[in-house]
Amino acid sequence: MPEVLVSTEWVQQHLNDPKVRIIEVDYDPNTAYNVWHVPNAALLTWKEMRHPVIRDFVPPETFEKLMEERGVSNDTTVVLYGDFNNWFATYAFWLFKAYGHEDVRIMDGGRTAWAKEGRPTSKEVPSFPRGRYKVKRVDWGSHRAYFWEILQAVTRGEVGRRVVLVDVRSPAEYRGDVTAPPEYPNEQTQVGGHIPGAINIPWAQVVDPETGRFKDLSAIRELYEKRGVTPDKEVITYCRIGERAAHTWFVLKYLLGYPSVRVYDGSSAEWNNLVGVPVKKGDEP
């Protein structure tokens, strides 16, 4: 198992390790963390990671405060897990890496695996000594792709050649049959469809639906390589707002070791709402 991925057993063995901070990352804690959580786990909601005014992440000084409040210091081993098969946990992992945290990991299987294995749970909200945290570097360049880069690649005919765009949404979203996933029925885009040239490999194809864990790495590698997503290309993932795209980014970058993978977190919420931007419907890239 790659070092960035830890088992539920490993987490249970480190519940009270002062050098380890377990953090649950949820979309809605009222349906997850507040019902039950891993004992001694802190909570971080996806909204706390978002900038309060513009569509972006919180600035470094706010991230530092969020970490210190949860007892996290720069040398803390942070283990993230959450709901929706770790969508938002990997989203947070992406932010942690962009802000330079050295040792951050994902609990394989998230809440699904923990519950199905009958491991101990708690409703108690823990408190920790305040951490000491300083963002030492900000690296969006190797983590994030921007709209103008995608548009340039599309208009120059580079998509599918130098650049591989992976749309990780459901086939219905990719085809343009629906303009929002069922989880977010009130967050429709203006038009349905996908970025021209993007291939559709839904994020869920790498997860065992019964356990919530990632499938065997050889099977995952075959899934991507047979679709032309290979380590020699620049790979950009996208979805609706970036959380599912971060899940696939984590798989490609950290489980398979691809050297050049970024997330276009503007995703369809940006692309499919802009005037005059090319959009394609149907099953073909």
Taken in order 35, 41, 47, 53, the sign of the CA dihedral is positive
How much is the pLDDT for 1? 57
pLDDT in tens, 113-169: 999 999 999 999 999 999 999 999 999 999 999 999 999 999 999 999 999 999 999
Domain 5-116 fold: Oxidized Rhodanese; domain 1 (3.40.250)
CB 72 within 8 A of CB 46: no
Please report which confidence band the pLDDT of residue 276 belongs to, taking 50, 70 and 90 as the band edges: very high
239 flagged as catalytic: yes
Q: Which of 40, 56, 57, 183 is nearest to 124 (CA)?
A: 40
Please report which confidence band the pLDDT of residue 184 belongs to, taking 50, 70 and 90 as the band edges: confident
Domain with CATH 3.40.250.10 in the chain: 5-116, 147-271
Q: Answer yes or no: CATH 3.40.250.10 is held by domain 147-271.
A: yes
Q: Which of 133, 65, 60, 72 is nearest to 99 (CA)?
A: 60
pLDDT in tens, 194-241: 999 999 999 999 999 999 999 999 999 999 999 999 999 999 999 999
Give the active site residue among 67, 239, 251, 252: 239
Neighbouring C-beta atoms of residue 14, cutoff 10 Å = 17
